[in-house]
Amino acid sequence: MLTDRLRRLVRLPDAVLTGLLALFVAARVFICVRGDVFTAYDTFSYAHRGDPAFDRGSLVSLTGHAPRLWGVPLFYAIFPNDTSRAVAQWAVGTVAWALLAWALWTCLRTVVARVLAAAAVLAVALLPQVANWDFAILSESLSISLGVLTLALMLLWARTGSVWYLAGATAAAVWWTFTRTDIRVFVVFLILALAVAAWRRPARRRQTLVAAGALVLATIWCTAITPVVDRSYTGWSATPEVRHEEGLMLFRLRLHVLPDPEVKAIFQREFGMPSCAGMEEIAAGPAWETAKFAAAYEQCPEFKAWGERNAADVWQRYATAEPGVFARQLREVVRLSVAGSDYAKTERVVPVPVEKLVFPPRGWALKVLGAALLVAAAALVFARRRPALTLAAVTVAVGSGVSLLAGIWFGAGEYWRFGIQEAIGLRLAVLIAVVAAVDVLLLARRGHGTPEERGAPEAVEKTASGAP
């Protein structure tokens, strides 16, 4: 058995995948050896620092009595220091991206499409905008890697019908749900995709509905404890004196209202916002100065009273009263969110032109990604003969888009960090749609290809699922 597997690995075209994976692992090892661990203010709410000034209580709670959901802190608690945590994140990411490359390889039939898919996925994983998060002691590495792992295992399940792949995907998705509160949006769309799969594949219906049910329970669990987490986070916040709704309003005032004369005038005219010299002075500068901004807010009694009255709904009223101005600001925030960024410094191992194609400069990011999504939409017209890949591309694209907008609506701050999983998800959706279309078009051009190309995926699906 082992000898047969080794023979397949050195036989074309499988040898190409083996070579790509070997190069990928070598590049990832190089990145790991040369990477620098990055920590930020938020790090101490994910992992203890060994300093009483920062270690303010338990960081892991299944019921929400901790500053974060348990998915990341529980993982970090296993390891003794930040270096080992970064290496562990690197390992999870390496496995996840390699598995996605293999999953796409097995789902496609033509050699060209397989090589294109595997090479593209592995190249994306090596880009600084992706790889750097493995060295940041924050939530982004696991929120990216577990999403990729879930996608890979779901594709392998769709390809083979193996209940083990489905169980692995479900476990990864449950863990993923508890890395960040906004991941629930992705999970909801994953549940919908499973419902579609259950309808289309009666032979797999029971296992599919069990997996969907587990994810529904995870989503309910996460939703139930999120308000408790928000309240618990106050003890770790830079501005503990400010309640959650006011804190969100202060971020928006600092980033979007006071620095923008047009928006500032709207808030003063339409919503009666008073002036506060201290806040306006900070907002005029480049540094966020979050703690000082909150302190200035506390020192302006009239402004604070206005904030307490309006924090809950002033942003919604602004969007309704001035939709054009709101849309302008929203477009800018979306552009920042999808542009990508690198916090930890890692070695660049992919040619710069490739990096700029996938993650163009911020000024071009939204235009290029928008054009790519239009190409992907057109590609799905041809890719519909690959229903598993089509469903995956649509689920990832729509889930990423909705999650991105929801994150902007319900949050504020480092958009280029908070939206990184959505930015990567949109790019993966484009990639999947394009390679699926290429696969279908090449098969059609060749008169449905060789016997091996024609039958491999369907044969496995039929025998594994029992479908007629």
Using CA atoms, how far apart are residues 138 and 119, in angstroms rounded to an integer?
28
Looking at the DSSP bridge assignments, the partners of residue 136 are 38
Per-residue tokens: 295: 């302190």
Using CA atoms, how far apart are residues 308 and 294, in angstroms rounded to an integer?
13
* Of the residues 339, 368, 387, the one at which a domain ends: 339
Specify the pLDDT at position 5: 59
| pLDDT exceeds 90 at position 348 | yes
Q: Do 48 and 111 have their domain in common?
A: yes
Specify the pLDDT at position 455: 42
For residues 125-130, average pLDDT: 97
* Cα distances (Å, whole numbers) of residue 147 to 127, 154, 184, 401: 17, 11, 11, 15
Specify the pLDDT at position 163: 96
| Whether 17 contacts 114, CB under 8 Å | yes
Specify the pLDDT at position 1: 53
Q: Do 352 and 272 have their domain in common?
A: no
Q: Do 92 and 118 have their domain in common?
A: yes
Question: Considering its fold, how many domains does the chain have in total?
Answer: 2
Q: Do 146 and 218 have their domain in common?
A: yes
Q: Do 66 and 153 have their domain in common?
A: yes
| pLDDT exceeds 80 at position 241 | no
61 three-state secondary structure: coil
Total count of residues recorded for the chain: 468
| pLDDT exceeds 60 at position 377 | yes
> What is the full DSSP assignment across 404-440?
HHHHHHH--S-HHHHTHHHHHHHHHHHHHHHHHHHHH
Lowest mean pLDDT among 64-68, 208-212, 228-232, 457-461: 457-461
Q: Do 265 and 220 have their domain in common?
A: no
Range of the domain at 430: 2-235+340-465
Q: Note the pLDDT tens digit of each residue in 318-329.
A: 999 999 999 999
Q: Do 148 and 32 have their domain in common?
A: yes
> What is the full DSSP assignment across 334-369?
HHHHHH---SS-----S-HHHHHHHS--HHHHHHHH
* pLDDT class of 170 with cuts at 50, 70, 90: very high
136 three-state secondary structure: strand
Per-residue tokens: 193: 């995709």
* Of the residues 292, 311, 339, the one at which a domain ends: 339
Percent of the chain clearing pLDDT 90 (strictly above)? 79
For residues 57-84, average pLDDT: 97
For residues 37-57, average pLDDT: 93
Specify the pLDDT at position 12: 61
Q: Do 221 and 281 have their domain in common?
A: no
Specify the pLDDT at position 11: 61
Q: Which amino acid is at 87?
A: V
Q: Do 92 and 192 have their domain in common?
A: yes
Q: Do 51 and 100 have their domain in common?
A: yes
Q: Do 66 and 173 have their domain in common?
A: yes
Per-residue tokens: 310: 């309006």
CB-based contacts of 29, cutoff 8 Å, min separation 6: none
* Of the residues 318, 339, 360, the one at which a domain ends: 339
Lowest mean pLDDT among 5-19, 312-326, 385-399, 437-451: 5-19
Specify the pLDDT at position 287: 86
Candidates 120, 193, 99, 105; CA nearest to 457 is 105
For residues 53-63, average pLDDT: 93
Q: Do 304 and 451 have their domain in common?
A: no
| pLDDT exceeds 90 at position 126 | yes
Task: Determine which helix (DSSP H) or strand (DSSP E) holds 19, and give its type and residue range.
Answer: helix 14-34
Using CA atoms, how far apart are residues 424 and 341, in angstroms rounded to an integer?
11
